[in-house]
Structure 1
Amino acid sequence: MNALERHINGLFGDTRVLSARLEKGFIRVPTAELQDTDDAIHLKLELLGLETKDLDIQVTQDAVHISGERKSQTQTENNGTTKSEFYYGKFKRVIPLSARIQNTNVTADYKDGILNLTLPKTEQEKNKVVKLNLEQPAA
């Protein structure tokens, strides 16, 4: 499991995924998708079954911190048993960003368990151009 977690973290650069060990496994953290455009970074998080009141999202200029809790709603009747593959409990995830953003201008849309964040880049990041000199020095 640790090797898989390290591999997943590697896909997102230095993403730090915090998982708490349970009796029978791990608490899963939300899956994420990042799209980097000229003007903004678009982050999509899968938060199925969570209400906004159960989420805490903090955005700095270089990372998105998300934590929350998925609460069990399963009720077992008299002498009944329930088997579930759903996961419940608290989670925390930090997603580092590839560019500095204007964290005061972030927009969010949460619909059908999918959180979409638009993280506008700072003007310095938008205008960052590096000119390479390919000429050979005179000998």
Structure 2
Amino acid sequence: MKLTKWTPMRDLTSDFFNVRRDLDRFFDSFLRGDYGTDDPLFPAVWTPAADIIERDDTYLVKLELPGVKKNEVKITIENNILTVSGEKKQENELQDKEHYRFERTYGAFRRSFTLPSTVKGEKIEAVYEDGILTISLPKAEEAKPRAIEIKVK
């Protein structure tokens, strides 16, 4: 018999992440309408995951949008707020009686990010590839990090 070293923190963190996963599934199911409601007061919603990365000359915002068509994504900037919105439409062929579980999320989404005032709005670009939307937000010249040498007298 192989002995396994007991690490109490591993058991504690494992339990924590299991509870978190179960709660996430519960709330996702409730918002998605898995409980038999087609009520328009509870439309299907989902929030795409986002990564925000700062580089020397640009900010990158990456959003996971699997299954969303490129022409169904809208990107706007108003009052220094970047908004990405769209809709992931459900396939009509899901009326099949052989389906036992529906975990994929459908419906409208909207994410907004407050931009620093140092972003050049007219130079923003977006690329959508393999379900990942990458928005490049170039920094203005005055916002780029620079080294200033100071002479000591």
Smaller-chain TM-score range? 0.5 to 0.7
Q: Structure 1 residue 62: deviation in Å?
A: 3.1
Unaligned runs of 5+ in 2: 1-19, 21-29, 36-43, 148-153
Check whether the contact 2:60–2:137 (CA below 8 A) recurs between aligned residues.
Answer: yes
Check whether the contact 1:63–1:95 (CA below 8 A) recurs between aligned residues.
Answer: yes
Q: Which structure carries more strand by proportion?
A: 1
Distance 1:81 1:92 in 2: 32
Check whether the contact 2:124–2:135 (CA below 8 A) recurs between aligned residues.
Answer: yes
What does the per-residue CA deviation read over 1:6-63, in whole Å, with 9 as the maximum and x for residues that have no partner?
xxxxxxxxxxxxxx94434862211111111121101111011000111111134733
Q: Superposed, which structure 2 residues align to 1:16-95 within 5 Å?
A: 21-24=31-34, 27-60=45-78, 62-75=80-93, 76-77=95-96, 80-82=97-99, 83-95=101-113
SS at match of 2:135: strand
Distance 1:38 1:62 in 2: 20
Amino acid at match of 2:86: G
Check whether the contact 1:50–1:113 (CA below 8 A) recurs between aligned residues.
Answer: yes
Q: Which residue of 2 aligns with 1:13?
A: none
Q: Structure 1 residue 98: deviation in Å?
A: 4.2
Q: Which residue of 2 aligns with 1:10?
A: none
Identity %: 28
Q: Which structure carries more helix by proportion?
A: 2
Query: What is the total number of aligned residue pairs between the two structures?
Result: 110
Distance 1:38 1:48 in 2: 29
SS at match of 2:102: coil
Q: Which residue of 1 aligns with 2:119?
A: 101
Amino acid at match of 2:126: A
Unaligned runs of 5+ in 1: 5-19, 130-139
SS at match of 2:61: strand
Q: Structure 1 residue 99: deviation in Å?
A: 5.0
Query: Scaled by the length of structure 2, what TM-score is found?
Result: 0.61
Where in structure 1 do 4 or more consecutive aligned residues deviate above 4 Å?
none
Q: Which residue of 1 aligns with 2:39?
A: none
Rg larger in 1 or in 2?
2
Query: Scaled by the length of structure 1, what TM-score is found?
Result: 0.66
SS at match of 2:143: helix
Distance 1:61 1:121 in 2: 16
Q: Which residue of 2 aligns with 1:118?
A: 136
Q: Which residue of 2 aligns with 1:132?
A: none
